């Protein structure tokens, strides 16, 4: 019953500033918001936007460098660039987390699809969705996870709710970590692309029920797969 208390009296800070900052940068990289070869915002800009000191940003970046996620170059037009090869993590997840993560993901992403379909989207937003769809459909197996995340984030953005977008990003990060623990996952790209097209078409058509339905089917694939592998 009173596990509402557990939710409300959970730790106020997920970790220290350094760990939180690393986590954010990792999200940006793993979700493909900053693609391999691209540059992260400058240290000073990151410090401002993340609300931490530049010292902390630098420590976080150093940690990423040591794990070969990024490289930094000095001088004007320098910066910190995302590497092509991204090492894998193998944390070993709690099994109880799976239901939690998948439940939250389904709620957020089907809700986002429905909400996006229920809005009157501007031409820029419509174009953005089509571009992301195209990117995902032409992705190689290696790129798939990242391009997929970018498409799903674009859908969340199309709701116009920043906090919903943030929640989707965090949720995807959690699920991706779970997926990373399954080494031999080869998604059926053709099938997934067809589902993506269906989702985006429903959103662009302004059909919320269809968008929700399509997203639910899309998510169920990885969900049952994860449940099967990890339970």
Inter-residue contact 219 to 105 (CB < 8 Å): yes
- From the list a copy of itself, DNA, none, pick the one residue 44 interacts with, judged by a Cβ distance below 5 to 8 Å according to partner type: DNA
Q: Which residues lie closer than 8 Å to 153 by C-beta, 6 or more apart? A: 31, 33, 165, 168, 169, 172
Q: Footprint of a copy of itself on residues 119-148 (CB under 8 A)?
A: 124, 128
- From the list a copy of itself, DNA, none, pick the one residue 10 interacts with, judged by a Cβ distance below 5 to 8 Å according to partner type: a copy of itself
Rg (CA), the chain: 18
Q: In this chain, which of 61, 64, 111, 215 binds a copy of itself, going by CB under 8 A? A: 111
For tokens 């070869």, name the residue.
37
Q: Which residues lie closer than 8 Å to 148 by C-beta, 6 or more apart? A: 136, 139, 192, 196
Query: Taking Cα atoms as reference points, which of 146, 52, 164 lies closest to residue 107?
Result: 164
Tally Cβ neighbours within 10 Å of residue 25.
23
Q: In this chain, which of 55, 90, 107, 185 binds a copy of itself, going by CB under 8 A? A: 107
From 83-91, 138-146, 152-160, 178-186, span contacting a copy of itself (CB under 8 A): 152-160
What would the two tokens of residue 112 be? 């986002």
Phi and psi at residue 71, in whole multiples of 5°? -130, 145
Q: In this chain, which of 22, 31, 69, 80 binds DNA, going by CB under 7 A? A: 80
Question: Would you say 48 or 103 has its CB closer to DNA?
Answer: 48
Inter-residue contact 82 to 40 (CB < 8 Å): yes
Question: Would you say 56 or 165 has its CB closer to DNA?
Answer: 56
Question: Would you say 194 or 230 has its CB closer to a copy of itself?
Answer: 230
CA 89, 93, 99, 104 torsion-angle sign: negative
Smallest gap from residue 43 Cβ to DNA (A): 4
CA distances from residue 45 to 57, 73, 193 in whole angstroms, order as listed: 10, 16, 36
CA 39, CA 69: separation in Å to the nearest integer? 12
- From the list a copy of itself, DNA, none, pick the one residue 85 interacts with, judged by a Cβ distance below 5 to 8 Å according to partner type: none
Smallest gap from residue 100 Cβ to a copy of itself (A): 5
Smallest gap from residue 80 Cβ to a copy of itself (A): 13
Q: Footprint of DNA on residues 59-78 (CB under 7 A)?
A: 61, 72-78
Q: Which residues bind a copy of itself (CB under 8 A)?
A: 1-13, 17, 20-21, 24, 27-28, 31, 33, 41, 46, 49-52, 99-101, 103-104, 106-108, 110-112, 114-115, 124, 128, 150, 153-154, 156-157, 159-167, 169
């Amino acid at each position: 019953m009173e596990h509402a208390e557990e939710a409300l009296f959970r730790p106020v800070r997920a970790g220290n500033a350094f760990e939180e900052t690393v986590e954010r940068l990792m999200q940006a990289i793993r979700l493909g918001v900053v693609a391999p070869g691209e540059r992260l915002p400058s240290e000073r800009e990151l410090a401002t936007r993340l609300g931490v000191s530049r010292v902390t940003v630098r420590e976080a970046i150093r940690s990423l460098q040591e794990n070969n996620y990024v490289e930094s170059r000095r001088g004007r037009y320098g910066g910190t660039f995302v590497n092509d090869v991204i090492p894998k993590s193998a944390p070993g997840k709690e099994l109880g987390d799976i239901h939690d993560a998948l439940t939250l993901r389904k709620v957020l992403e089907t809700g986002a699809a429905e909400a996006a379909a229920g809005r009157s989207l501007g031409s820029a937003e419509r174009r953005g969705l089509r571009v992301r769809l195209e990117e995902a459909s032409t992705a190689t197996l290696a790129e798939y996870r990242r391009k997929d995340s970018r498409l799903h984030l674009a859908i969340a953005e199309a709701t116009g709710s920043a906090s919903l977008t943030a929640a989707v990003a965090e949720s995807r990060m959690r699920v991706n970590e779970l997926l990373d623990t399954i080494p031999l996952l080869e998604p059926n790209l053709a099938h997934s692309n067809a589902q993506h097209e269906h989702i985006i078409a429903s959103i662009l058509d302004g059909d919320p029920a269809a968008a929700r339905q399509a997203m639910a089917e899309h998510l169920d694939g990885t969900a049952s797969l994860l449940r099967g592998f990890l339970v």
